[in-house]
Amino acid sequence: MPPADRLRDHAGQGATTVAAHRARRRLRADQARQLADLLRHQLLAGGFPNGTLPHETTLATEYRATRNTVRQALDLLRAEGLVERLPGVGTVVVAEKYPHGLDHLRGLAETLHEHGRVTNEVRTMGPAPAPAPVAERLRVPAGDEVLYIERLRRLNGLPLSLDLTYIPLDIGTALLGADLENTDVFRLLETITGQRLGHAEITLEAVNADTHSAAVLEAPRGAAVLMLERLTHLADGRPVDLEFIRFRGDRITMSGLLHRSL
């Protein structure tokens, strides 16, 4: 074989080896993700009663996976802040992830009352001229003042969400003296108007937190945030509450029921 060919052949073999190695690595990463998804569900559903995951070898047997795959799956869950490895104890659940219903329109304290106490730090509150898109959605004349509120919401002291709220001033004025630190705006709106809330249009997105929002939420820079935009109407149909809510992705799950046809 001429040297050039031998060289080419050798390079070809090298490429095959690299490709095979890449394929194995890809396969293991796929299997780790697959296992991590199953474990994530179990740990969020409280499926590990004493808060400790089975030993790696037990997991490997149960899930017919290699120990390397198990280790990689646990690494993924650790990166998400769901588990931690404690020397001498094993892998323990450290997630503080709370369920938020998608089936009913509820305030945060109403939703999470089983999980602890919701407190609100009012960062900003006061009348402000409504920007055009806010005025339009709240059906007030453009430039009219609306009540603007910015709150950092905590569950048992841990930051959960950063909420930006716009409310028409005729209703909002009564909120100025209310106990916003300890009461959901939803409940206050119903008390003020003497009406039940009706429905809300919502939009959910996953975004990376900007530096400042991350700092306020005490989350790492670029942390995934579940962003909820919600326009809430009174029972009579009047829009009364426009909110932009950034939930810490590692602290909240939204769950609900979908039907094929209604």
Residues 10-69 binding a copy of itself (CB under 8 A) are: 26, 29-30, 32-35, 37-38, 41-42, 44, 47, 62-64
In the shown chain, the binding pattern of residues 161 to 200 toward a copy of itself, with x for contact by CB under 8 A and - for none, equals ---x-------------------------------xxxxx
Among 67, 204, 218, 236, binds a copy of itself (CB under 8 A): 204
Among 133, 158, 182, 236, binds a copy of itself (CB under 8 A): 133
Residue with tokens 């809300």: 200
Among 84, 96, 121, 229, binds a copy of itself (CB under 8 A): 229
Q: How far apart are CA 249 and CA 30, in angstroms?
A: 23
Residue 29 one-letter amino acid: A
Residue 126, Cβ density class (10 Å: 0-12 exposed, 13-18 middle, ≥19 buried) = exposed
- Least distance in Å: CB of 49 to a copy of itself? 14
- Least distance in Å: CB of 89 to a copy of itself? 23
Stretch that binds a copy of itself, among 6-14, 49-57, 113-121, 221-229 (CB under 8 A): 221-229
Q: How far apart are CA 101 and CA 226, in angstroms?
A: 14
Q: How far apart are CA 117 and CA 135, in angstroms?
A: 33
Residue 126 in contact with a copy of itself, rule: CB under 8 A: no
Q: Say if residues 53 and 43 touch (Cβ distance below 8 Å).
A: yes
CB nearer to a copy of itself: pick between 118 and 249: 249
CB nearer to a copy of itself: pick between 13 and 34: 34
CB nearer to a copy of itself: pick between 21 and 123: 123
Residue with tokens 């959910």: 204
Among 117, 129, 182, 236, binds a copy of itself (CB under 8 A): 129
Total residues contacting a copy of itself by CB under 8 A comes to: 74
Among 56, 96, 207, 238, binds a copy of itself (CB under 8 A): 207
Among 16, 68, 124, 156, binds a copy of itself (CB under 8 A): 124
In the shown chain, the binding pattern of residues 70 to 109 toward a copy of itself, with x for contact by CB under 8 A and - for none, equals ------x--xx----------------x----xxxx----
**What are 133-139's contacts with CB under 8 Å, separation 24+?**
134/166, 134/242, 137/231, 137/239, 137/242, 138/166, 138/167, 138/168, 138/239, 138/240, 138/242, 139/238, 139/239
- Least distance in Å: CB of 175 to a copy of itself? 18
- Least distance in Å: CB of 128 to a copy of itself? 8
Q: Say if residues 98 and 253 touch (Cβ distance below 8 Å).
A: yes
C-alpha to C-alpha distances, 21 to 16, 17, 25, 65, 136, nearest whole angstrom: 8, 6, 6, 18, 58
Rg of the Cα trace of the chain? 25
Q: Say if residues 118 and 112 touch (Cβ distance below 8 Å).
A: yes
